Amino acid sequence: MVGYATYTARDGTAFDLSDMTEPSTAGEMLWDSSMYGWGWSVNDKTGAASVASLSFDVTAYLWAAQADEFSRHAYDDASSGGGTLTVHGWSLSCIVKTGKGIQSQGGRVSMSLSIIATDPTWRRITRHTLVAESGTQTSTTGLDYPTDYEFDYAGTSRGSSMQSFHADVPCSVRVTFYGPCTNPYVQVTSTASRSTTSNYYGVDASADAGERIVIDPMGRRSVGSSVYKVGAYGERTNLFDSRRRGVEGSGSYVFATMPAGDLMVSWPQGYAVDVETIEERGSLPWN
């Protein structure tokens, strides 16, 4: 059983840091009360803003047999970029700066941890898998000739009205198209406000069976990590120049942020797609 607080090392090993044998409000408060949001500072001369790192101390609970293993992983992670702390579904990339065992009782060890995050952003990433030909409603937005041309005029698609998501805060969207597919796209629509907000996320490229095309807004700081294709053997090809062009608000910006509320997705259904909503907060929701 996964607890409400976990640490995942860079090698994928996960450690349950919550006291799942005796769950209590008091125990959760050890995690919740000190995880406040981040701050920033502005240079008086240049006007440039810089985000301050987030640091806090918490008390974690581990079985004695796991305490040494956790310490070894946290130590290794500290020199290689850190791991991931997840609390009630919200994750933070962080480094365990210091750790000290407080007491051992009943086979469990309580540890005092000092945690620091240079990117003090809590993220909740939710994956929605859309299986090929799984839509249940036809949404005709153009001309789909019965003789079937190689393309559908004006973007005709068989939309899946059954695939709906919900985001508590505005979110970015990461999309993975699985081959075989050609010029794949998805359309995400929000009807939370009085006016409908809709955006196409697409790439003008092809992927064979066993390959996938990824649009990742979190990779924009690294060349070749925002729009790319992964081959059958793991090789990566930069497809940034093949992305559908647009700017924020144009309806075809591949890194567009969607508003909070209910979201609906439609796609041609000839290929499988993973749509991941990436919600971001400066602090945990209850702080």
- Architecture per CATH, domain 125-281, reads as Sandwich (2.60)
Contact at 8 Å (CB) between 170 and 162? no
Task: Read off the amino acid at residue 216.
Answer: D
Query: pLDDT higher for 229 or 283?
Result: 229
Kindly state the tokens that stand for 80.
């290689």
Alpha carbon distance 115, 58 (integer Å)? 8
pLDDT of residue 57: 81
Note the pTM of the prediction, 2 decimals. Answer: 0.76
What's the pLDDT tens digit per position in 192-237?
A: 767 788 999 999 999 999 999 999 999 998 888 999 999 999 999 9
Alpha carbon distance 266, 214 (integer Å)? 17
Q: What is the chain's alpha carbon radius of gyration, rounded to the nearest angstrom?
A: 22
pLDDT of residue 52: 61
pLDDT of residue 102: 75
Q: How confident is the model at residue 51 (pLDDT cuts 50, 70, 90)?
A: low
Mean pLDDT, the chain, integer:
80
pLDDT of residue 13: 95
Task: Provide the Cα torsion 58, 63, 69, 72; round to 10°.
Answer: 20
pLDDT of residue 30: 43
What's the pLDDT tens digit per position in 161-173?
A: 457 888 998 999 9
What's the pLDDT tens digit per position in 108-160?
A: 888 888 888 888 889 999 999 998 876 555 444 443 444 444 444 444 444 44
Of all residues in the chain, what percent carry a pLDDT higher than 90? 44
Kindly state the tokens that stand for 201.
């996320």
Q: Of the ranges 15-29, 56-70, 266-280, which one carries the lowest mean pLDDT score? A: 15-29
Question: 264 pairs with which residues across the strands?
Answer: 164, 189
pLDDT of residue 98: 87
Other beta carbons within 10 Å of 213: 26
Domain ranges of the chain: 5-121, 125-281
Q: What is the mean pLDDT of residues 57-85?
A: 88
* Structure letter (DSSP) for residue 245: P
